[in-house]
Amino acid sequence: MGPYEILDAIGAGGMGEVYRARDTRLDRTVAIKILPAHFSLDPVRKQRFEREAKTISSLNHPRICVLHDVGSQDGIDYLVMELVEGETLAKRLEKGPLPLEQVLKYGMQIADALDKAHRSGVIHRDMKPGNIMLTATGAKLLDFGLAKPAASMATNPQSPTTKPSSSALSRPSTS
């Protein structure tokens, strides 16, 4: 896959597979998210994949996964990202609840990452424990595959992730 040597599979999701790989130019380990060839033929999925690359590249924050490169080879599109070592919050929660101190620490870190994204005009739209990686240095937000610019959210008020306006929240109930 270009200058990247695939080492092993590390995950899969709705938009493709993620592999641990070696960047042979810079001699570092990275994560490569590959859009399967049959998805590359689907204009909606291909657009979503490209939007994820543009979204991630527009954000620079220590709690958001870094995009290093994008590419295409033999009809297969891919993103090259920082390899984030650790376990997902979902996997950690299988062991039981987190201590309050960790909940507060990780919650503040993810809130800070989301604040950066929102201030940059990006809405994540897929916040879940599987998209939060717990590392030795704290929490990191992953997978911006469903992210959209905040402006497009304003033009689609029927979106299931759009919140009611503050005026709607302050009106008296009619029921």
Domain 4-160 sits in CATH at 1.10.510.10
Return the residue matching tokens 């939007």.
Answer: 51
Among candidate residues 8, 74, 112, 126, the one labeled active-site is 126
Model confidence at 138, pLDDT cuts 50, 70, 90, reads very high
pLDDT at 84: 95
Tracing tokens 């306006």 back to the chain, one arrives at 165
Residue-wise pLDDT for 152-164, tens only, equals 554 454 444 444 3
How many helical (H) and strand (E) elements, i.e. helices and strands, does the chain have? 6, 10
Establish whether 126 is a catalytic residue: yes
pTM of the model: 0.77
- Locate the DSSP E strands across the chain: 4-13, 16-23, 28-35, 67-73, 76-82, 87-88, 122-123, 132-135, 138-141, 148-149
Tokens of 126: 């897929």
Q: What is the pLDDT of residues 39-84, one digit of tens each?
A: 888 888 888 888 778 888 888 999 999 989 999 888 888 989 999 9
